[in-house]
């Protein structure tokens, strides 16, 4: 029982300590607004460290952007307003999830198209194999000439 | 038809190799700026202490003449490396260079200029959280923007200006805009 409690405690501790770069002094007073800022921060790219979100990153610029995101939320911006504000300055690059538009068609549609092409090729392969596979053999009796040859061969090997 | 099908994997491999080789030569820090051909962001930046008659940097100051806006900070290592080039450019006097002292204590930004030399005509302070720098889409220092005489951003240079990239890239653009 004690062991179980210890396990539960350890699990609980583990869950409660995600990697965080957000400092307490940056947080908004309203928990709902802060939650929105956190949510947004996770999908905005830290433009210096590139593969981290501003929510994850310890870079100074990431901190600046976190503050600015919170400032805008505090001023009454919607999530989309905040996104637009940053895209206007840093381009789509600032969004960790690229938007679906003409220039990103290959990015979004490439994998499913390739998957379909692959599936098509596999299907084609199996269909062709079935078509060209040998039909079940019908027993054809030996011709007299063949029978004579066979007999001769059998005799030669001494059977 | 069959033969082409057999060659397909090789062709795909060659195509990918070319693509990846090209990727190796690209600098992932060079992010295309969305501000090209857009007006300089609205800003009214305070001057640094002890820079004489400088009144700081605001949007209106960038109109009337082709100029370069250089983002620097006293904390910025690459800026020290870039600085001699800026000093040389000031001596040549081709084009006014303005500075934005980014994420910096204005006192320290001014002290840094005393120590390394002051290549700027105007300097505006943009202390943390660097709102003006964010308006410029700055990702690091140093970064430089070429602004035309109507106050439109025409080019962004990421990283230090060197005599070489000045001669090869930046100066031709400036000359073109001055026509």
Ordered by start, the domain boundaries in chain B are 27-178
pLDDT at A71 over 70: yes
E strand segments, chain A: none
Quick count: other Cβ atoms within 10 Å of Cβ A101?
10
Number of H helices, E strands in chain A: 6, 0
Is residue B171 classed exposed, middle or buried when 0-12, 13-18 and 19+ CB atoms within 10 A define those classes?
A: middle
ipTM exceeding 0.95, yes/no: no
What gap in Å lies between CA A91 and CA A85, rounded to an integer?
10
The residue to which tokens 């960038």 are assigned = B62
pLDDT at A21 over 80: no
Question: How does the average pLDDT of chain A come out, rounded?
Answer: 85
Secondary structure letter of residue B169 according to DSSP: I
- The domain over range B27-178 is classified in CATH as 2.40.50.140: no
Work out the angle between the directed axes of helices A79-90 and A60-74 (0-180°, nearest 10): 140
Q: Which residue of B has its CA nearest to A88?
A: B34
The pLDDT > 90 percentage for chain B reads 82
Nearest one of A64, A44, A40 to A53, comparing CA atoms: A44
Q: Cβ contacts (< 8 Å) between B134 and chain A: which residues?
A: 64-65, 68, 89
Is residue B112 classed exposed, middle or buried when 0-12, 13-18 and 19+ CB atoms within 10 A define those classes?
A: buried
Topology (CATH level 3) of domain A2-99: Helicase, Ruva Protein; domain 3 (1.10.8)
Where exactly are the structural domains of chain A? Answer: 2-99, 105-131
Q: Which residue of B has its CA nearest to A67?
A: B129
Tell me whether A64 touches chain B (CB under 8 Å): yes
Q: Which pLDDT tens digit goes with each residue over B105-150?
A: 999 999 999 999 999 999 999 998 999 999 999 998 899 999 999 9
């Amino acid at each position: 029982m004690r062991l179980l409690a210890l396990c539960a405690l350890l699990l609980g501790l583990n869950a409660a300590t995600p990697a965080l770069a957000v400092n307490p002094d940056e947080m908004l007073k309203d928990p709902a607004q802060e939650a929105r800022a956190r949510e947004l921060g996770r999908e905005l790219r830290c433009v210096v460290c590139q593969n981290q979100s501003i929510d994850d990153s310890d870079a100074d610029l990431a901190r600046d952007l976190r503050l600015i995101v919170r400032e805008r939320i505090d001023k009454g911006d919607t999530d989309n307003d905040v996104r637009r504000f940053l895209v206007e300055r840093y381009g789509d690059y600032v969004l960790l999830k690229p938007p679906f538009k003409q220039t990103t068609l290959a990015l979004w549609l490439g994998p499913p198209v390739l998957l379909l092409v692959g599936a098509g090729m596999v299907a084609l392969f199996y269909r062709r194999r079935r078509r060209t596979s040998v039909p079940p053999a019908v027993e054809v009796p030996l011709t007299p000439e063949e029978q004579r040859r066979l007999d001769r061969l059998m005799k030669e090997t001494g059977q | 038809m069959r033969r082409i099908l057999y060659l397909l994997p090789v062709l795909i491999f060659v195509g990918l190799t070319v693509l990846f080789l090209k990727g190796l030569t690209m600098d992932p820090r060079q992010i295309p700026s969305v501000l090209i051909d857009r007006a300089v962001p609205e800003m009214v930046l305070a001057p640094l202490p002890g820079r004489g008659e400088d009144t700081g940097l605001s949007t209106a100051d960038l109109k009337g003449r082709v100029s370069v806006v250089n983002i620097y900070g006293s904390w910025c290592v690459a800026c020290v490396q870039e600085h001699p080039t800026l000093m040389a450019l000031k001596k040549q006097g081709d084009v006014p260079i303005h500075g934005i002292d980014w994420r910096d204590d204005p006192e320290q930004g001014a002290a840094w200029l005393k120590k390394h030399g002051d290549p700027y005509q105007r300097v505006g302070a943009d202390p943390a959280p660097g709102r003006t720098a964010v308006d410029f889409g700055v990702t690091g220092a140093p970064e430089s923007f070429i602004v035309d005489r109507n106050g439109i951003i025409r080019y962004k240079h990421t990283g230090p200006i060197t005599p070489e990239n000045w001669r090869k890239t930046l100066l031709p653009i400036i000359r073109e805009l001055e026509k």
